[in-house]
């Protein structure tokens, strides 16, 4: 008998004990590992498809914004020759085409059209997320006519500005002030043409008093947001062009002309959360797209009632200042 209390070959006991212990432990560990790997694989697959759908949606939204900008640029270019015209078609591709290489070629020199296809007509397009867009040559509008299927992970498509009310000022929640919402704008000295807000007031001097403002907004909630917009101006050196996002309380008044909403300032009852402007190299009369992110805290969501983007600018006679495709989205 040895010190282990066994008789005979002590190695035989040790080998048997090790084999039994190793076999039982390995089986349990293997089962646990399989379960963990299966769970991780499920999470990885889910995240892969989620990221893929978001990438498709982002690409689709960028293409739609670019096409809408291209349409407006086409109209502006033809207006230079004395008679503004809208494209009769956006490309020469036939209905039901799956070859996207020529899509939108009338208004874009190049575009990300991978995954796009034509619908039942030459004016109908189906994006990578499955959303359907229809071009109306009589108005020059590219509109979302059928949303992406449920569960596609698509983000809201960019929308044109749907309405405009001319007013000298606006009061949050005021009985005489229009309720703001996506595509619903209020401003001073602008006009709405085919989803584009054009500044019509002009000045013969580069002054603060020449500033004119248009606003759009929505209800507030906590979280991260992205402001997207397109703008164009003729000359950075003698035009104002900038935008700011405010959080506003009920009763806050925004004066929409003159110097009340200066760069970097907020009126009483409002909080400035982000701002930006078109730089000199992009003040060439062409459309350019901008994106700004900002965050609303839980405390701010409780204190303020609305998110409002103000877009301000000025122009001399013969110059252009315009806004389109303005949206505030929450990823």
> Is the pTM value of this prediction over 0.75?
no
Top pLDDT among 51 and 119 is at: 119
State yes or no: pLDDT of 215 exceeds 60.
Answer: yes
Model confidence at 41, in pLDDT bands (50, 70, 90)? low
Q: Please give the domain boundaries of the chain with CATH numbers for all domains.
A: 10-153 (no CATH), 159-329 (2.60.120)
pLDDT at position 100 is 86
CA distance 115 to 120: 16
CB-based contacts of 208, cutoff 8 Å, min separation 6: 258, 259, 262
pLDDT (tens digit, 9 = 90+) per residue, 142-164? 877 776 776 555 444 445 687 88
Q: How much is the average pLDDT of 268-282?
A: 95
Q: In this predicted model, which residue has the larger pLDDT, 89 or 181?
A: 89
Q: Which of 43-47, 133-137, 209-213, 290-294 has the lowest mean pLDDT?
A: 43-47
The 10s digit of each residue's pLDDT in 106-136 is 998 876 678 899 999 999 999 988 888 888 8
Nearest CA among 222, 225, 227, 220 for reference residue 292:
227
Other Cβ atoms within 10 Å of 136 Cβ, number: 13
Q: Which residue has the tokens 């270019």?
A: 77
Name the DSSP class of 209. G
* Predicted local confidence at residue 22, as pLDDT: 46
Q: Taking the CA of residue 268 as centre, how many other CA atoms within 13 Å lie in the half-sphere pointing to its CB? A: 1
How far lies 159's CA from each of 61, 133, 141, 300, in Å? 10, 11, 10, 27
Q: What is the pLDDT of residue 157?
A: 45
Rounded-to-integer distance, Cα 318 and Cα 235, Å:
11
């Amino acid at each position: 008998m040895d010190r282990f209390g066994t008789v005979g070959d002590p190695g035989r006991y040790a080998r048997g004990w090790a084999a039994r212990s190793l076999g039982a432990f390995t089986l349990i560990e293997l089962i646990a590992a399989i379960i963990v790997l299966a769970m991780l694989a499920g999470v990885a697959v889910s995240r892969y498809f989620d990221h893929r759908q978001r990438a498709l949606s982002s690409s689709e939204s960028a293409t739609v914004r670019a096409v809408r900008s291209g349409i407006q640029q086409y109209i502006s270019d033809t207006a230079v020759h004395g008679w503004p015209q809208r494209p009769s078609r956006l490309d020469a591709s036939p209905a039901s085409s799956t070859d996207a290489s020529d899509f939108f070629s009338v208004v874009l020199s190049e575009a990300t059209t991978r995954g796009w296809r034509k619908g039942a007509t030459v004016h109908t397009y189906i994006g990578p997320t499955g959303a359907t867009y229809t071009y109306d040559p009589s108005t020059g509008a590219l509109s979302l006519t059928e949303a992406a299927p449920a569960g596609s992970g698509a983000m809201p498509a960019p929308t044109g500005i749907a309405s405009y009310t001319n007013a000298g000022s606006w009061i949050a929640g005021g009985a005489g002030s229009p309720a703001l919402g996506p595509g619903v704008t209020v401003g001073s000295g602008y006009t709405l043409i085919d989803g584009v807000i054009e500044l019509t007031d002009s000045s013969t001097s580069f002054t603060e008093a020449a500033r004119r403002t248009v606003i759009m907004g929505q209800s507030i909630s906590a979280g991260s947001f992205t402001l997207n917009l397109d703008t164009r101006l003729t000359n950075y050196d003698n035009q104002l062009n900038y935008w700011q996002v405010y959080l506003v309380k009920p009763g806050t008044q925004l004066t929409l002309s003159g110097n009340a909403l200066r760069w970097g300032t907020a009126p009483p009852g409002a909080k400035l959360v982000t701002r930006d402007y078109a730089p000199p190299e992009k003040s060439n009369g062409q459309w350019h797209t901008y994106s700004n992110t900002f965050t609303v805290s839980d405390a701010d969501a409780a204190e303020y009632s609305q998110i409002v983007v103000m877009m301000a600018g000025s122009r001399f006679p013969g110059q252009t200042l315009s806004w389109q495709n303005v949206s505030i989205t929450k990823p």
